[in-house]
Amino acid sequence: MINAVETIDSTAPSRTEADRSRVRADAEVAGSVIAKSWPLETFIAVNPLRSLEQERFEEAVRIAGQTLGARGTMSEGWYRKQRETGRIGEEDLRSALRRRLGDVLNSPPLAIGRERFSPEAIFLTDLMVGEEAPAPVRTYLTASERFEPGVFDQMNEESSKWCAAYLGAESAGWPMPGRELGFYSAWRELIGLDRTLPAKARKALTDLPDRPEDALLDAIEKIGVPSHANQDYLRSHVGAMPGWTSLVIRISETDEGIDLVSYLAMRVAIEAALLEAKSVSLPVPYIHPDSHDGWQPAPERGRTVAVLTALGALPGSNQDELSAIDGLLAKLPPRERTQIWQEAYEENYRSSLLHELERPRDETEERPDAQLVCCIDVRSEGLRRKFEESGNYETLGFAGFFGVPIRYQDLAGNSPSDLCPVLIEPKSSVFEEPLQGAEKQSERRLARENSVTSAKDGVHEAESNVIAPFALAEMSGWIKGPVAAARTLATRPFGSIRSRLREKTVPAAPTVIDVERDMPLDERVLFAEVALKTMGLTDNFAKVVILCAHGSTTENNPYASALDCGACGGHRGAPNARAAAAILNREDVRELLVERGLEIPGDTFFVAAEHDTTIDRVEILEPELVPEAIKGDLDRISRDLDAATGKLSLERSRDLPGEQPKGKVSRAEAGVYRRSQDWAEVYPEWGLAGNAAFIIGPREMTAGVDLGRRTFLHSYDPNDDAQGEALETILTAPVVVAQWINCQYYFSTVEPVVFGAGTKVTHNPVGNVGVLSGPDGDLKLGLPWQSLADGDRLVHEPMRLLVVIEAPLDRITTVIERNPSVRDLFDNGWLSLAAREDATSGWMRRERNSEWTPWETR
Amino acid sequence: MDTMGNTLETMETAGLSRMTKVEIVVEGADSHSVREVFRANGASGFTSLSGVSGLGHGGYHQGRLIFNEQATLELLITVVPEERIESLMAGLRPILESSSGVMFVTETWVSRPEYFE
């Protein structure tokens, strides 16, 4: 393929505000090929191709291939292995082929000699024997990448170095000099001192204009990019280092003095300066990005021959017959075969799941002894199943912020945290306060906590300083050495001792959450109403309703927040559970809820709790607030919860590397505890690995079915939602967050180099913003390999999310049609949808053209 | 005098100054980009209305959603002197070309022009 070449006159005109405005917008659009990513300290799962969700999945993947060199599916060889092991069945492939090729498969069988072969048989054979397409390569290339690869590498090193200095160094206690000037100005001030660059390049960079837009335009023109190609050219720079770009996009929203224009100005200016210093004659010819990556599949005839050879029919064929098969196979380009495989892979799981949900169910209306409301997180499924097995208990699923978006201020006065999905911003603050009568205890706790924090900060600062670490090692090595040895060699005892020590040093002090200071009563009532109605908890309240948040306890884990609650912005959800319980227990709220058709019985009490997903413990958070009348009940429920979580530890241990598959509960509990305390453990838990479906409906749909901790479960009562408001809330918020999570796991698995974070073994944290793999390079996106796989064994099966709904189909259609962003997700193949009218109806599939067709389960 | 001339005279007699009003409807997820273009081009302020509903070439758009501010449409309005329009449009056009949204640009009159300079 010959690329179009263009040359321009490089005489630089004077800049107008319109020029600057245009290049800013060009940078913005160029950056849209990759989604913004959050710093590690508040890790938010995102679909790395979120900005491309208005495109069909296949098209988005093609764009990602061109710009990022990223795969969007597994390799064909991998799928063929799944076919050999039975993970993909022939029926799954047939189903995927039918949906993709439709009428093509209905054409008459083709004659080869004396035999006849159906189109389906020919495609099925081609899927197994066709020449495998290689991984995509980037076709959006920078000038240095094309003409002087050494410059490209050096530019990337420089970019990483300066981004790390600006974005990462401050949190490590050593801010970049001149940081207050903003990224571009601070970098321009310092670049003259960078001896890794040739003197000529340093001089050119020191003389850059004051405004980053001007520097960017100058560099682009000097390199020889025609102005109409600016977006494409900037996209080639974005694609070269998507990790840093995506962080810069996010940080630019927080007024930190860095944005895409200043970042790209730095990159392209370095590129131009280095090319000149290498005596490359600028401008270089501009080569438009190619729409193909250069891979030429074998001619159709070769494909046909391979198919007929596999079918044993080649010897009897003639030219006309071969041509007919050439024409048939051309309907499915080889690059697109992996899409068929992917759909077949998903079909296998989905059909089986839907079949499981077709069994008869128990719909008793007896008042349960307790209701446990858990987050929709897939990890809750195991807890709910085990807890329900232990008594007359009902469980429900709702987003783990419990419908209360809050800015949380803790007792210690740390920086407030936004505890809600990132789709919204909290409008109200809540405050942790001493329990009435416990003010003195709180003062003691605070004083001790401040002392401990100050000591920790002092050590951390000394560790981060340039010279101090040497003195620190001399002074503290005698104690830190043995402590490090104890942490490594006796993880569990060390953890227990440390916990006890902390209890003694920082005594517990009962606190409450003040929800009234900043949140008006009508808002509290609205939150309560929406939460209860959306999860369908509108009657048959138990005496004890536990709102069970979740969080994770791990050591030395830069990805710790990825294991916390996604619905709480990557934080532990305990404050939300406490705030929601505080709201729902208030008389004034309950009185107003009655006016809205919600009557909570007087003997019902909401209890806040938190599930630690690493160690499988459920802690009752505010025992002091529990009324005497239900203390006995709660003790019994707590014992059942302990038993349930023990069994859950045992179940989870079967999948955790190095654990005994058939051990005892006590051993499993000890094992998961050790993992949570071990600072060298790279598999503390599996997080949301395996996530594959999002089920919306009453618990009766799924109760008693072992869903393998792979499904998000959102409670929903279609009988209480005639207008579809609750369903709309679920589809536009929790489903969207779950889809981000799902896509992050999916893309981190199929493309661990570009979209994943690689192996933890070589991780090198950059402050608290992200990790590098080794000393430099791009900031890693997505999840580390140890969150997805155990060596070569994938623990996360890469599948796009299936949404399963039990509700009238007309209602589902109406809600989807009036929310284009949700409609895009279904129409473009980012999500799939199975639904049925009620428990007795068959499952229907929403096709991408929005029609409903029967789903054949098996 | 033509109608335009009459309008100009009437407005000026009433102590009003001519400005240009830009109204944009975009998805909440894109509103930050639009606000950035406003800011970078010297718009002294803007008004935004989130959760607006309507019917467009992409079909009907639901209004306010309870737990998603990014999927709903947002109406952003700014008023700038005429000389800023060229650079403002240069910045907005690529963004609108790459995402869904509509823009309306109209002449408007303000009583305190210094607020918009």
Instruction: Check residues B38 and A447 and name the one with the higher pLDDT.
Output: B38
Residue A265 has pLDDT above 50, yes or no: yes
Min Cα distance A21 → chain B (Å) is: 5
Residue B79 has pLDDT above 60, yes or no: yes
Q: Residue B80's beta-bridge partner residues?
A: B20
Q: Are A492 and A635 in the same domain?
A: no
What is the phi/psi pair of residue A504, to 5°?
-75, -40
Q: Locate A378 and state its tokens.
A: 């897939």
Place A464 in a pLDDT band, splitting at 50, 70 and 90: very low
Average pLDDT, chain A: 91
Range of the domain at A119: 76-131+300-353
pLDDT tens figures, A655-689: 999 887 777 999 999 999 999 999 889 999 999 99
CB distance A54–B100 less than 8 Å? yes
Q: Which of A336, A323, A345 is nearest to A130 (CA)?
A: A336
Instruction: Check residues A447 and A328 and name the one with the higher pLDDT.
Output: A328
pLDDT tens figures, A711-734: 999 999 999 999 999 999 999 999
pLDDT tens figures, B6-61: 888 888 888 999 999 999 999 998 999 999 999 999 999 999 999 999 998 888 88
Q: Residue A609's beta-bridge partner residues?
A: A548, A620
Taking contacts as CB-CB distances below 8 angstroms, the residues of chain B near A22 are: 90-91, 94
Q: Is A423 on the interface with B (CB under 8 A)?
A: yes
pLDDT tens figures, A798-843: 999 999 999 999 999 999 999 999 999 999 999 999 999 999 999 9
Instruction: Decide: A682 and A786 in contact? Cβ < 8 Å.
Output: yes
Report how far apart the first and last C-alpha atoms of chain B are (Å, whole number): 29
Residue A1 has pLDDT above 60, yes or no: no
Is the ipTM beyond the 0.85 threshold?
Answer: yes
- For chain B, which residues make up each domain, given as ranges? 17-116
Q: Are A111 and A176 in the same domain?
A: no
pLDDT of residue A455: 58
How far is residue A650's CA from residue A660's CA, in Å, rounded to a whole number? 9
Q: Are A159 and A127 in the same domain?
A: no
pLDDT tens figures, A210-222: 999 999 999 999 9
**Strands A789-790, A605-612: parallel, antiparallel or unpaired by DSSP?**
unpaired
What H or E segment, with its residue span, contains residue A397?
A: strand A393-397
Q: Are A696 and A577 in the same domain?
A: no
Q: Are A152 and A240 in the same domain?
A: yes
Cβ contacts of A586 within 8 Å, gap of 6 or more? A524
Cβ contacts of A637 within 8 Å, gap of 6 or more? A369, A370, A393, A544, A546
Q: Are A238 and A273 in the same domain?
A: yes
pLDDT of residue A10: 47
How far is residue A152's CA from residue A158's CA, in Å, rounded to a whole number? 10
Choose among A25, A403, A424: nearest Cβ to B94.
A25
Q: Which of A702, A722, A704 is nearest to A807 (CA)?
A: A722
A764 domain residue, yes or no:
no
How far is residue B26's CA from residue B36's CA, in Å, rounded to a whole number? 14
CB distance A22–B61 less than 8 Å? no
How far is residue A513's CA from residue A625's CA, in Å, rounded to a whole number? 11
CB distance B87–A17 less than 8 Å? yes
Choose among B40, B58, B68: nearest Cβ to A21.
B40
- For B71, the closest chain A residue by CA position comes to A821
pLDDT of residue A765: 87
Chain A to chain B Cβ contacts (< 8 Å): 102
Select from A250, A534, A821 the residue whose CB has the most chain B CBs within 10 Å, as the one to mutate to test that interface.
A821
Q: Are A262 and A349 in the same domain?
A: no
Q: Which of B74, B75, B81 is nearest to B107 (CA)?
A: B81
Q: Residue A431's beta-bridge partner residues?
A: A409, A514
Greatest alpha-carbon span in chain B: 55
What Å distances lie between residue A293 and A1, A134, A136, A145, A240, CA to CA? 9, 10, 7, 15, 16
Choose among A22, A728, A817: nearest Cβ to B91.
A22
Choose among A18, A423, A821: nearest Cβ to B86.
A18
- For B100, the closest chain A residue by CA position comes to A54
Task: Mark which of A452, A474, A505 sits at the end of a domain.
Answer: A505
pLDDT of residue A88: 98
Q: Are A649 and A517 in the same domain?
A: yes
A71 domain residue, yes or no:
no
Residue A278 has pLDDT above 50, yes or no: yes
| Assigned fold of B17-116 | Alpha-Beta Plaits (3.30.70)
Least confident of A151-160, A170-179, B54-63: A170-179
pLDDT tens figures, A604-636: 999 999 999 999 999 999 999 999 999 999 999
Min Cα distance A259 → chain B (Å) is: 10
Q: Is A255 on the interface with B (CB under 8 A)?
A: no
Residue A469 has pLDDT above 60, yes or no: no
A768 domain residue, yes or no:
no
- DSSP readout, A282-330? SSPPEEPPPSS-S--PPPHHHHHHHHHHHHT-GGG--HHHHHHHHHHHT
At A562, the amino acid letter reads A
Instruction: Decide: A549 and A590 in contact? Cβ < 8 Å.
Output: no
Min Cα distance A732 → chain B (Å) is: 7
Is there a cis peptide before residue A368, judged by omega within 30 degrees of 0? Answer: no
Task: Mark which of A681, A711, A742 sits at the end of a domain.
Answer: A681
Residue A511 has pLDDT above 70, yes or no: yes
A773 domain residue, yes or no:
no
A738 domain residue, yes or no:
yes
Instruction: Check residues A739 and A115 and name the one with the higher pLDDT.
Output: A739
Choose among B32, B40, B90: nearest Cβ to A253.
B32
DSSP assignment, residue A769? Answer: T
How far is residue A562's CA from residue A569's CA, in Å, rounded to a whole number? 10
Mean pLDDT of A732-748: 97
Q: Is A405 on the interface with B (CB under 8 A)?
A: yes
A703 domain residue, yes or no:
yes
pLDDT tens figures, A477-497: 666 666 767 766 677 676 667
Burial class (CB in 10 A: 0-12, 13-18, 19+), A241: buried
CB distance B32–A733 less than 8 Å? no
Q: Locate A571 and state its tokens.
A: 């934080």
pLDDT of residue A2: 41
Q: Are A553 and A428 in the same domain?
A: yes
Sign of dihedral through CA atoms A93, A96, A97, A98?
Answer: positive
What is the phi/psi pair of residue A715, to 5°?
-70, 145
Q: Are A337 and A476 in the same domain?
A: no
Q: Are A604 and A535 in the same domain?
A: yes
Q: Are A672 and A701 in the same domain?
A: no
Ramachandran area for residue A75 (φ above 0: left; ψ -120 to 50: alpha; else beta)? beta
Cβ contacts of A497 within 8 Å, gap of 6 or more? none
How many structural domains does chain A have? Answer: 5
